[in-house]
């Protein structure tokens, strides 16, 4: 049975239920621990504070949840650990599964009988008289209530008061930590909050950046760092490409970690096999840690299939999760070459990031008895919605990624050396911009997805 998440691209609709918005607007200000901005009601935009110069960084471990799975981190809400919180760079809300009282249908799914999700039991009543708003993901949807609680990224670490969400009902939902921009926050019409990371960085003085390192094939080294570049990484080796505004929105805003990718190469070839579509062609290219696969336009998947037509059947490459083509040849992956994605560097040049065969094809078996499926899937063409290229975990498993929101740029560097050792959980230090930045690291975990498309 194969289960692969096809994307956690947030497409939200804000619907105020119960009492009207005027009642929500009159909610007690004592319940709010950070500033709010009046919203027009549909994804109102807030601007995050860049924060003060910092000498503190927080590093947390990520858990690798295997081929059909996701990378999670542990957060602490009301002092309770939640160890299965999806790290998602393509949404912005922090939402937990409500317990059996708050959300009776949140824990009734039996897709993974050996997996019991962490659920949130609020210590106080829901805010805004229990009003809910709807949230829609690529897979999964639910109604969300807001609660006030203390949220920390480390056990016994600094906690901030935050209005987090809890699913009051849901279908195919899970605990999720959105690390996107304020423009992607879903909430009540009369309330425009900031994402948790924005609030945490502002209150603790962290730099407005975080880094993610994902590793494939059960390798150690999965982690996320808040506010600093890790001491093991040579800063001069990081190459940056601009994060660009979504010009398909009106007005143009920073919403996703949207970048320009120029060309798709196969290592050793004299010319690229395909070009990436642009915003002018009604496409976004989004770096998304909440998507397992590499989602490309059909013509790009077809170009890869054509290049490898003597190695694999052409219908292997576009993954059909209901009936995937599986290759059992132990020598198959060794016949493949690196894919390469080319990015502009913002200074008139370009650079390439390698994607190894061991990540863009996924072995669900063993080395001796492989069961290899594709890690690629075609994206539907633009229609009423823009087309989306998703650089998901298949991409991120090859690179240490710096999400530098202060300078609106994405830093990338090969991460093979970081995936060779288990991350240290002791304090380390690094000089960045002539400042010593202590960091604390705990492992990320990879767990089975509780909800996903299955065969």
Tell me the sheet residues that pair with 63.
72, 445
pLDDT for 4 equals 35
| Range of weakest confidence among 276-285, 352-361, 389-398, 433-442 | 433-442
| Range of weakest confidence among 62-71, 159-168, 249-258 | 62-71
Rounded to 10 degrees, the C-alpha dihedral 384/385/386/389 comes to: -130
pLDDT of 165 higher than 60? yes
Residue 381 to residue 369: CA distance in whole angstroms = 37
Confidence category of residue 301, pLDDT binned at 50, 70, 90 = very high
Tell me the sheet residues that pair with 75.
82
Ramachandran bin of 284, using left for φ above 0, alpha for ψ from -120 to 50, beta for the remaining angles: beta
pTM: 0.83
Q: Which residue has the tokens 């105020």?
A: 16
Averaged pLDDT of the chain: 79
| Range of weakest confidence among 4-13, 29-38, 73-82, 393-402 | 29-38
pLDDT of 19 higher than 50? no
User: In the 8-state DSSP scheme, what is residue 43?
Assistant: S
Question: Which domains, from first to last, does the chain contain?
Answer: 3-211+450-454 (2.40.70.10), 233-416 (2.40.70.10)
The beta-strand segments (E) located in 37-139 are 58-64, 69-77, 80-88, 94-97, 133-136
pLDDT of 419 higher than 80? yes
pLDDT for 205 equals 85
The better pLDDT of the pair 334, 42 is held by 334
Q: Which residue has the tokens 């549909």?
A: 42
Residue 162 to residue 145: CA distance in whole angstroms = 13
pLDDT of 64 higher than 70? no
- In percent, the amount of the chain with pLDDT more than 90 equals 57
pLDDT for 326 equals 95
pLDDT one-digit tens code per residue, 199-229: 998 988 888 999 999 998 888 888 999 988 9
Rounded to 10 degrees, the C-alpha dihedral 242/344/211/292 comes to: 110
Alpha carbon of residue 195 to chain centroid: 14
pLDDT of 276 higher than 60? yes
| Range of weakest confidence among 47-51, 119-123, 306-310, 392-396 | 47-51
User: In the 8-state DSSP scheme, what is residue 237?
Assistant: G
**Phi, then psi, of 125 in degrees rounded to 5:** -70, 155
The better pLDDT of the pair 407, 193 is held by 407
């Amino acid at each position: 049975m194969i289960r692969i998440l096809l994307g956690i691209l947030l497409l939200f609709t804000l619907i105020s239920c119960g009492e009207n918005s005027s009642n929500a607007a009159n909610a007690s200000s004592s319940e709010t621990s950070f500033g709010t901005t009046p919203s027009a009601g549909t994804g109102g935009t807030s601007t995050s504070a860049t924060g003060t110069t910092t000498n503190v960084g927080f590093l947390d471990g990520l858990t690798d949840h295997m081929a059909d799975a996701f990378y999670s981190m542990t957060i602490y809400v009301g002092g309770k650990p939640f160890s299965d919180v999806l790290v998602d760079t393509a949404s912005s809300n922090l939402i937990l599964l409500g317990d059996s009282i708050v959300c009776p249908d949140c824990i009734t799914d039996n897709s993974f009988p050996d997996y019991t999700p962490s659920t949130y039991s609020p210590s106080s009543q829901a805010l805004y008289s229990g009003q809910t708003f709807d949230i829609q993901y690529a897979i999964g949807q639910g109604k969300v209530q807001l609660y006030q609680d203390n949220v920390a990224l480390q056990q016994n670490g600094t906690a901030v008061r935050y209005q987090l969400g809890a699913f009051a009902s849901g279908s195919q939902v899970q605990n999720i930590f959105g690390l996107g921009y304020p423009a992607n926050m879903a909430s009540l019409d009369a309330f425009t909050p900031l994402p948790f990371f924005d609030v945490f960085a502002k209150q603790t003085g962290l730099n407005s950046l975080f880094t993610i390192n994902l590793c494939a094939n059960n390798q150690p080294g999965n982690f996320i760092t808040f506010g600093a570049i890790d001491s093991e990484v040579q800063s001069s080796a990081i190459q940056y490409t601009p994060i660009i505004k979504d010009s398909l929105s009106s007005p143009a805003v920073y919403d996703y970690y949207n970048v320009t990718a120029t060309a798709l190469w196969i290592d050793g070839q004299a010319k690229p096999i395909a070009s990436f579509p642009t915003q002018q062609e009604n496409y976004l290219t989004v770096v998304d840690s909440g998507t397992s696969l590499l989602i490309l336009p059909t013509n790009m998947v077809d170009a890869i299939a054509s290049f490898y037509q003597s190695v694999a059947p052409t219908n292997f490459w576009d993954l059909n999760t209901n009936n995937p083509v599986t290759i059992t040849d132990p020598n198959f992956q060794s016949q493949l070459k690196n894919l390469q994605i080319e990015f502009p560097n913002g200074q008139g040049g370009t650079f390439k990031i390698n994607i190894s065969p061991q990540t863009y094809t996924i072995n669900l078996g063993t080395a001796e008895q492989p069961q290899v499926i594709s890690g690629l899937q075609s994206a539907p063409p633009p229609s009423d919605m823009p087309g989306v290229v998703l650089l998901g975990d298949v991409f991120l498993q090859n690179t240490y990624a710096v999400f530098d929101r202060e300078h609106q740029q994405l830093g990338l560097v090969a991460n093979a050396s970081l995936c060779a050792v288990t991350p240290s959980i002791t304090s380390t230090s690094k000089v960045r911009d002539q400042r010593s930045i202590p960091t604390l690291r705990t492992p990320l975990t990879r767990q089975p997805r509780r909800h996903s498309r299955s065969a």
